[in-house]
Amino acid sequence: MKITEIRTTVMWAGLRNWVIVKVMTDSGLYGWGEATLEHKEETVCAAVKQLGASLIGEDPLSTERHWQILFRHGFWRGGVVLNSALAGLDQALWDLRGKAWGVPVYKLLGGPTRDRIRLYTHVGIYQPERILEDAQRDVEDGFTAMKTGAWQGDTLMPEHERIAAFAERIGQLRAAVGPDVDIMVDDHGRGRPASAIRLIRALAPHRLLFFEEPTQPDDIESLVHVRAAGTNTDLAAGERLYSKWDFLPLLERRVVDVIQPDLCHAGGITECKKIAALAEAYYVKLAPHNPQGPLSTAAAAHLAMAIPNFLILEYVRQEPYRDQTMREAWTVEAGHLTVPDRPGLGVELDEDALLSSPYRPGNPHRNAFNADGSVADV
């Protein structure tokens, strides 16, 4: 069996564009992967085309060898664009491998360590005024964990007002969902270390499962500072790290309790399995970053099935196109995802549905601005 063609399709999915990768072979088997990278979709497609050219004529089952070649044979290697392209190709090769051998990917990764995958939802992230409404809906539907964002609007309020307002909002959320539902907060590294510490302390009475990205991903010393403050809240980071080498300093410095590799950005299944093993050695849990499409969810779920240190998986219920692109939807019940026993990733996409919603050039994240008009981080 040899690889004959690699295609990319960019589909507008309501909240973002999905980048779908299809690897085809002369046997008729094909594999699906996802390389979604918001606002850099065309760049990633070009990278998939360039990296994928070296796979034409090759045996698709040699996933580790192909990963090594695609990563190491480029003198200019790594970074979010190349590693996202690599991730999409890697997922597709694992899908092909499972189909060729007639087994689900998680069995190729070592077999199941659990029966189902716990999920958390988004509440009030896209529409902050809906936080309580979203939360009530999710609890009624059986979800036991949810995450929201620690900011509102394009213009940041003065810090003391922002912290007070957000702490009040999380207090209302805790009162609405009760003591047994886990709450997470994502700061996206928007504040200074000192402001992150103040915010985490203000939220302490509401018992967060974790506080995500208190600092920018390239500033590990600030994360060390937040950790040293002794906030007694678990810290999570890693959605904007792209390799095992990126994650290793966080683990060695012991500044996080949870890491969040993205299966669409951190080199795919091959690399994220290694990242998980590194984290296990430091007793750190995995909560994969996963706001993308069905193949991203599938890849993350198969990894989660096969590793012992999985914690919880992000799941965006507001994705309107997920069900219409999947020929057979996965089962979500009582806040958990059941991974099907079908070969490969277990996802078959409707290509007509993919083509029915073409790429929309989106506005990049509108940067937040301070009161004086200067640029703040998104």
359, two tokens? 């790429």
Average pLDDT of the residues in 92-105: 99
User: Which of the following is catalytic: 188, 225, 265, 336?
Assistant: 188
Higher pLDDT: 368 or 190? It is 190
User: Are residues 43 and 150 both part of a single domain?
Assistant: no
Residue at 155 is within a domain: yes
Q: Is the pLDDT of residue 97 over 50?
A: yes
pLDDT, position 134: 95
| Domain endpoint, select from 55, 85, 102 | 102
As a whole-number percent, the residues of the chain with pLDDT over 70 amount to 97
Residues 53, 15, single domain; the answer is yes
pLDDT value of position 155 = 53
Average confidence (pLDDT) over 27-53: 98
Helices (H), the chain: 41-52, 63-72, 80-101, 105-108, 131-140, 159-177, 193-203, 220-228, 244-253, 268-281, 294-306, 322-325, 351-356
Amino acid at 291: P
Q: What is the CATH number of the domain that holds 238?
A: 3.20.20.120
Residue 360 falls within a domain, yes or no?
no
Q: Please tell me the predicted confidence (pLDDT) of residue 366.
A: 60
Evaluate if residue 33 carries a pLDDT over 60: yes
Residue 357 lies in a domain: no
Which residue among 102, 123, 149 closes a domain?
102
Note if 289 is an active site residue. Answer: yes
End-to-end CA, the chain: 46
What's the CATH number where 27 sits? Answer: 3.30.390.10
Q: One of 66, 225, 265, 289 is an active-site residue; which one? A: 289
Q: Please choose, from the candidates 225, 224, 130, 211, the residue with its C-alpha nearest in 3D space to the C-alpha of residue 167.
A: 211
What local confidence, expressed as pLDDT, does residue 296 receive? Answer: 98
Residues 325 and 238 in one domain: yes
Same domain, 118 and 141: yes
Q: Say if residue 188 is in the same domain as residue 78.
A: no
Q: Which one, of 112, 109, 59, 15, lies nearest residue 362 by Cα? A: 15
Tell me, yes or no, whether 362 lies in a domain.
no
Residue 154: predicted pLDDT: 47
Question: Which of the four pLDDT bands, split at 50, 70 and 90, describes residue 153?
Answer: low
Domain co-membership, 97 together with 233: no
The answer as to whether 312 is a domain residue is yes
Residue 290 belongs to a domain: yes
Residue 160 has a pLDDT of 86
Whether residue 189 sits in one domain with residue 64? no
What per-residue confidence (pLDDT) applies to 126?
77
Q: Closest by alpha carbon to 87, among 224, 232, 243, 257?
A: 243
Whether residue 262 lies inside any domain: the answer is yes
Residues 256 and 123 in one domain: yes
* Co-location of 179 and 84 in the same domain: no
336: its two tokens: 């958990």
pLDDT digits (tens, 9 = 90+) for 221-273: 999 999 999 889 999 999 999 999 999 999 999 999 999 999 999 999 999 99
Does residue 52 register a pLDDT over 60? yes
Does residue 136 form part of some domain? yes
Q: Which of 82, 102, 122 is the last residue of a domain?
A: 102
Q: How many percent of the chain have pLDDT more than 90?
A: 84
Instruction: Average the pLDDT over each of 60-64, 255-259, 318-322, 339-343 and give the range with the smallest value.
Output: 318-322
Q: What is the mean pLDDT of residues 34-38?
A: 97
- Domain span at residue 252 reads 107-347
Q: Report the 10 Å Cβ neighbour count for 283.
A: 10
Q: What is the pLDDT of residues 287-333, one digit of tens each?
A: 999 999 999 999 999 999 999 999 999 999 877 788 889 999 899 99
Are 289 and 213 in the same domain?
yes
> Do 194 and 304 belong together in one domain?
yes
Mean pLDDT of the chain: 94
Would residue 336 show up in a list of annotated catalytic residues for this protein? no
Q: Does residue 207 share a domain with residue 63?
A: no
pTM, rounded to two decimals:
0.95
Q: Cα 125 to the chain's mean position, in Å?
A: 15
Asked if residue 139 lies in contact with residue 121, where contact means CB atoms within 8 angstroms, the answer is: no
How many separate domains does the chain show?
2
Sign of the Cα pseudo-torsion (356, 360, 377, 269, in order): positive
Contact 47, 88 (CB under 8 A): no
